[in-house]
Amino acid sequence: MKTELVLVRHGITAWNRERRFQGQLDTPLDEQGFEQARKTGRRLASWPLAAVYTSDLLRARQTAEAIAAPHGLDLRIESRLRERHYGGYEGRTYDEIERSDPDGYARWRAREPAFALPGGGETLRSLHERVEAALRDLARRHEGQVVAIVTHGGVLDCAFRVATGLALEAPRTHELLNASLNRIAWQDESFALLAWADAAHLVEAIDDAAQARGHP
């Protein structure tokens, strides 16, 4: 039986606009982010969601609440869905890091799978492994059902690569839009891409500079 996972990136935050590494710091949605969450909730209100899973970080939980409410579902917290740990980069802008640590910034931009971000950060390979494990566990748990998963840009990037086979170090050509719908299917023990970066429910113009940059 086919399982469908509907992955949603959290609504926009002030730090998204500032091009600041959020990582695992607990930043909230801004006013537009809450509006994006409400619109996503309305878009999914008629979908047959069996469960709503979310990262334990605040910006994801705030988005997930708007999706779960119309269905009367409780949020299911899954810490493996949290954003990549950016170590000492967290809370700083991309421009600041590029100036202060040009070598590390270049290695991050180059998507080196084994590069551990300075200050106790996570490697891209470690992130990919935990994301793939979480997605497989949730898909097997909800065989034949439709499940919403609210998470982060780095996690979405890994999900796209899991579903398409795109190499971890390959440049990103797919968008990671706030509050967009990204659908993958699980069947016969493998994932496949159904749809990506569907933001038709968001009326306002999407600020690609704020939303899509930052995850190379």
CA–chain centroid gap for 109, Å, is: 18
Give the whole-angstrom CA distance, residue 135 versus residue 10.
Answer: 17
User: With the C-alpha atoms ordered 122, 126, 128, 131, is the resulting torsion angle positive or negative?
Assistant: negative
Tokens 């200050």 map to which residue?
119
153-164 helix and 124-141 helix, angle to the nearest 10 degrees: 70
Q: How far apart are CA 33 and CA 165, in angstroms?
A: 31
Note if 83 is an active site residue: yes
Question: Which of 4, 35, 78, 83 is flagged as catalytic?
Answer: 83
Helices 58-68 & 31-44 angle (0-180, nearest 10): 40
- Core vs surface per residue 28-57: b (16+ CB within 10 A) or e: bbbebbbbbbbbbbebbeeeebebbbbbeb
Q: Active-site residue 201, yes or no?
A: no
Total Cβ atoms within 10 A of residue 137: 12
Quote the CA–CA distance of 176 and 5 in Å, as a whole number: 16
Residues labelled as active-site residues: 10, 83
